[in-house]
Amino acid sequence: MSALLQSVPAMILMTGALVALSGALLGTFLVLRGQSMASDAISHAIVLGIVLAWFVTGARSGPLAVGGAALAGLASVLGAQALARTRLMAQDAALGLVFPAMFALGVLLINLNARNLHLDIDTVLLGEIGFVWLETKTLLGLELPAAAVTLGVVAMLNAGFITLFWKELKLASFDPGLASAFGFRPGLIGAVLLALTSATAVAAFDAVGVVLFMAFLIVPPVTGLLLSRRLWAMLAIAVGSGLFSVGAGYALAIRWDVSIGGMMAVATGAGLVVALVAAPRSGLVAALIRRRLLRDEERLNTLLIHLASHSDTPDRAEECTEAAFVEHLHWTRDDARAVILSGLDRGLIRRDGALFSLTEAGAARAGMLMRAHDRRRALPPDTR
C-alpha cells in the first residue's frame, strides 16, 4: 500500500483529488453567493502577497508566505467590495480594477527588486501537477508530495468550516437578509469563506497553478447547480465531477502526451457540457422538449379556436376537416394528424366522419382562449 501511495501516478492523482475536493467545497457556496469571479481576483493578487511577505520576512515559502498571499487575496476582494459600496462603479468593474492592478504591481516588484526570489509567474498561474513528486515530505512514514500535504490541511480546514457552519452558510447563501435577522452575520461568514478561498488558492499554486485552480473552484459547482437544486446534492455532484475530472484528465494527458493539469481542467469543462445538455430542468434536451410541448400546445389551441370560429357557420363542412387544417393553418399533414390525435386523446374534440367538432370541454377551453385574446387586444399597445 505504501509503495502504491508513493508512486508518481498516485502522487499526482492524490494532489489533483485534494485540489478538486477543496475547490468543490468552497466553490459551491461562492457560486450560490454570486462571488465566482472573486476567485479570479484572489488568484492574481496572491503574487503581490508572496512578494510583500518576502520583503518583510525574507520567507519564500512556508506559513509566512502562504499567510501573506492569503491576506493579499482577501484584500483584493474586500477592496473591490469597498469600491463598489461607493456606488461609483459596479461590483464587476471594481474587481476588474483592483485585481489587475495588484497583479501588475506584484510582477513589477519581482522584476525590479526580487530577481533572486525564484518565483516564476508562469508557474504560479499555470503550474504543473506532473512535477509534484519532486518535492516531498515525510508524513507517518510515507514520502508524500509537499503540495499534497499542504492541500490536505487546507481541505480539512474547508471541510471543518462547512460542517460546523452548514446551516449559517446555507441561509446566508440563499437569503442574506434573513440570515442577518437571525443574527448569523452573513458578512463575516462571507469574509471567512473568501479567506479560505485565498488560502486554498495559495496552497494550489504549487500543484496546478491558481488559474487552473479556478477551473476546479467554479466549473464543478456550476455543473452541480445545473443538475440539482438541493444544496447537498449540488455539493456531492461538484465533488464527484471534480474527482472524475482529475482521473479522466490524467488518463487522457498520459495518452495524448499533453499537460496533465491543463487536461484536468479541460475535463471539468467536459462535465459541464454534459450538464448543459442533459440537465433535467435547464439542459438543452429539456429546453427542446419544453419548446416542442409548448409548440404542440399552441397548435392545439389554434385548432380549438379554429373549430369554435366555424362551428355554427355555413362553411363548417369545408373548414372543420383535416384538409382545411393543412391548407388554411399552413400545417403539414403529419403535424395536422398529430394535433388531431392530441385533441381526441384529451377529449377536447370529437370526430364525425370527416368533420371535427368541439366537445364540451373543448368549447370551454376555446371560449377562455378567445376571451383572453379579446382582453389583450383591448389593452393599450405599450402594455400588451
Q: What is the DSSP string of 92-145?
A: HHHHHHHHHHHHHHHHHHHHHH-TTS---HHHHHT--GGGGGGSEEEETTEEEE
Residue 360 belongs to some domain of the structure: yes
From 217, 241, 272, give the residue that closes a domain.
217
Kindly state whether residues 209 and 319 are assigned to the same domain: no
pTM: 0.82
Note whether 106 and 51 are within 8 A (CB).
yes
Q: Which pLDDT band, with edges at 50, 70 and 90, does 311 fall under?
A: confident
How far is 245 from 274, CA to CA, in rounded Å?
Answer: 13
Residue 46 belongs to some domain of the structure: yes
Residue 129 belongs to some domain of the structure: yes
From 217, 243, 278, give the residue that closes a domain.
217
For 321-349, the pLDDT digits (tens) are 999 999 989 999 999 999 999 999 999 99
To which H or E segment does residue 66 belong?
Answer: helix 63-85
Residue 226 belongs to some domain of the structure: no
Kindly state whether residues 211 and 356 are assigned to the same domain: no
To which H or E segment does residue 350 belong?
Answer: strand 349-352
For residue 162 the three cell numbers come to 462547512
Strand partners, 144: 137
Per the listing, cell 508513493 goes with: 6
Which CATH number is 149's domain given? Answer: 1.10.3470.10
Q: What is residue 184's DSSP assignment?
A: -
Looking at the predicted structure, is the pLDDT value of residue 6 above 60? yes
In this predicted structure, what is the pLDDT of residue 199?
82
In this predicted structure, what is the pLDDT of residue 157?
95
Q: Which pLDDT band, with edges at 50, 70 and 90, does 161 fall under?
A: very high
Kindly state whether residues 171 and 317 are assigned to the same domain: no
In this predicted structure, what is the pLDDT of residue 87?
82
With H, G, I as helix, E, B as strand and everything else as coil, classify residue 89. coil
Kindly state whether residues 57 and 170 are assigned to the same domain: yes
> Highest mean pLDDT: which of 18-32, 71-85, 120-134, 170-184?
18-32
Question: What is the number of alpha carbons within 13 Å of residue 103 lying toward its C-beta?
Answer: 18
Kindly state whether residues 207 and 304 are assigned to the same domain: no
Residue 141 belongs to some domain of the structure: yes
Kindly state whether residues 196 and 308 are assigned to the same domain: no
Kindly state whether residues 292 and 207 are assigned to the same domain: no
Domain membership of residue 303 as a residue range: 286-383
Alpha-carbon distance values, 260 to 136, 246, 271, 315 (Å): 19, 9, 17, 73
Looking at the predicted structure, is the pLDDT value of residue 360 above 90? yes
Report the number of distinct structural domains present in the chain: 2
Distance of CA 43 to the CA centre of its chain: 18
Which amino acid type is present at position 174?
Answer: F
Kindly state whether residues 187 and 304 are assigned to the same domain: no
Helix axes 186-205, 210-227, angle to 10 degrees: 130
Strand partners, 350: 357
Residue 261 belongs to some domain of the structure: no
Kindly state whether residues 190 and 293 are assigned to the same domain: no
Alpha-carbon distance values, 331 to 203, 322, 328, 343 (Å): 62, 10, 8, 16
For 79-89, the pLDDT digits (tens) are 888 888 888 88
Note whether 223 and 26 are within 8 A (CB).
no
Sort strands 349-352 and 355-358 into parallel, antiparallel or unpaired: antiparallel
From 171, 202, 217, give the residue that closes a domain.
217
Residue 203 belongs to some domain of the structure: yes
Residue 228 belongs to some domain of the structure: no
Q: Which pLDDT band, with edges at 50, 70 and 90, does 384 fall under?
A: very low
Kindly state whether residues 211 and 308 are assigned to the same domain: no
Kindly state whether residues 213 and 292 are assigned to the same domain: no
Looking at every residue in the chain, the average pLDDT score rounds to 86
* Residue 305 CB neighbours (<10 A): 16
